[in-house]
Amino acid sequence: MKGDRIQDTDHVLRHLKSTWVDPETRTVALEAFIWAPKPDAIDDIGVSVGWREFFVDNPPEKQVDLFRQSCGLQLKASARFGELNCGRIRAAARPVLQVDVVHDPYPGTDCHSAITGFPAVADDNARTAAALIAECVEALHPATLPPATK
C-alpha cells in the first residue's frame, strides 16, 4: 500500500543514466541519490526507485526483468539499474539524514517506491547522505537486454 515502509531485507532498483555510472570502477554518481523534485510534481516524495520484491514469487533476475517491463521509463541500452538493500540505505544515511524507503505506487507502475527524507534543495548533509547511499549499490543490471535473452 502507498506509504508502506519497505522492509530492511528487501531491495530497490534505481535507474542510472550511462553518464552516472563508471562500471569499471563501480562508481555511481552521488547525484543519482539526490532528490530533485520537479516544481509541477506535487506527489513526488523522494528519489524514485523500483521495489524488486514487489514481484514476489519470482527469482531475483526475473524480478529485475519485470521491473524493466513495468517501470515506464524509456530505457537506453547504455543505462543501468543499481540494486540496493533497503536496510543498508537506512543504516548508511542515518548519521546525517533520517531517510526511509517507502512504497509509492502510481497507475501503471505498482512497484514504484521512493527514498524519502531528503530536503527539496540539496545541502551538504544531503550530498553526504547521497554519497553514503551511492556506496550501497550492490549490483548493476543492464537496463535493457539483448533481444535473444528476453
Q: Other C-beta atoms within 10 Å of 58: how many?
A: 14
Q: Cβ of residue 133: shortest distance to another protein, in angstroms?
A: 12
Q: Cβ of residue 105: shortest distance to another protein, in angstroms?
A: 26
With 0-12 / 13-18 / 19 or more C-beta atoms within 10 angstroms meaning exposed / middle / buried, residue 28 is: buried
* Binding span for another protein by CB under 8 A among 5-13, 24-32, 45-53, 141-149: 24-32
Pick out residues in 86-105 that bind another protein (CB under 8 A).
Answer: 91-92, 94-96
User: Side chain identity at 88, as an amino acid letter?
Assistant: R
Is residue 27 at the binding interface for another protein, with CB under 8 A as the rule? yes
* Binding span for another protein by CB under 8 A among 3-11, 28-36, 43-51, 107-115: 28-36
Which is nearest to 143 in space by CA: 51, 64, 45, 85? 64
Show the binding pattern over residues 52-81: x = contacts another protein (CB under 8 A), - = does not. ------------------------x-x---
125, three cell numbers: 548533509
CA distance 15 to 8: 20
Is residue 47 at the binding interface for another protein, with CB under 8 A as the rule? no
Size of interface with another protein, in residues (CB under 8 A): 28
β strands within the chain, DSSP E: 11-16, 21-22, 27-28, 47-51, 80-85, 100-103, 112-116, 139-142
Contact residues for another protein (CB under 8 A)?
17-22, 24-31, 76, 78, 91-92, 94-96, 124-125, 127-128, 131-132, 135
